[in-house]
Amino acid sequence: MRTVKRFNNIQFFVLLVMFVQFSSLHAQTSKIKYDFFNVKAEKFGDQSIVNGMQVTDDNGNDFRIIKTPYTLGFEIKTPQGWKAHGIRFSVSNGLVKTIDTYKYGILNGEHKSFHNNGKILITYFNEDGKIEGKWTHNNSDGSVHEEGNYEKGLKQGKFLIYYEEKGMERGPVSNETYYKDGKPSGTWIVYDRNGKKTFESRQKEK
């Protein structure tokens, strides 16, 4: 009888230790804080972060991690289901190709896409799912190829295309085009590298 009683006490002690360790680990996990809008892609390389892993923020919102060979990011649980929320990376052959920011399933924030050498290809901002403000398309050396502005997802005003000039952020203007509500409107001008007009045409609104 004494032997059985002693064995049971040992079992109880082991279970108690395991429970304390588990409680401690759970408490540490619950205290992990994610900045869902500023996480670096390298963070997803952590082997402890797995696809579908769920975390809770300080406000009690439930999130799950998206970690696949092609997509890295977060989703937030809503009454309508899981929706993209926070930063999101698209990946190809181990390289980050685009970075976007979502709020409750809608694009909101800066967009960046990249050349294979890591230089920025295209950058702009989204507001409520539509491009808003300055839009820039760069060459693989980082110099500007084309730039203009958007309003509510539509091209608006002057767009410029530049010649590529080594060592310059912007080469001479190659093309000058105007848009109204996403459609060509106004004068279209083509220049040579010396700034001389080689072609000019009035664009008809469609």
How many CB atoms are located within 10 Å of the residue 71 CB? 14
Structure confidence at residue 29 (pLDDT): 40
Angstrom distances, CA of residue 82 to CA of 35, 46, 147, 159:
18, 23, 35, 38
Determine contact, residues 131/150, Cβ cutoff 8 Å: yes
Task: From 90, 132, 92, select the one nearest 108 (Cα to Cα).
Answer: 132
Cα R_g (the chain), whole angstroms: 27
Element (H, E) at 13: helix 2-30
Structure confidence at residue 34 (pLDDT): 67
Structure confidence at residue 206 (pLDDT): 61
Angstrom distances, CA of residue 141 to CA of 3, 80, 81, 92, 166:
78, 43, 42, 20, 9
Q: Which amino acid makes up residue 23?
A: S
Cα of 26 vs its chain's centroid, Å: 30
- Report, at the CATH architecture level, how domain 118-206 is classified: Single Sheet (2.20)
pLDDT along the chain (206 residues), means of 10: 44 38 38 75 90 89 94 96 97 95 97 97 98 98 97 97 94 96 94 96 76
The domains of the chain are located at: 1-31, 33-107, 118-206
How many CB atoms are located within 10 Å of the residue 156 CB? 19
Structure confidence at residue 205 (pLDDT): 66
125, burial (CB in 10 Å: exposed 0-12, middle 13-18, buried 19+)? middle
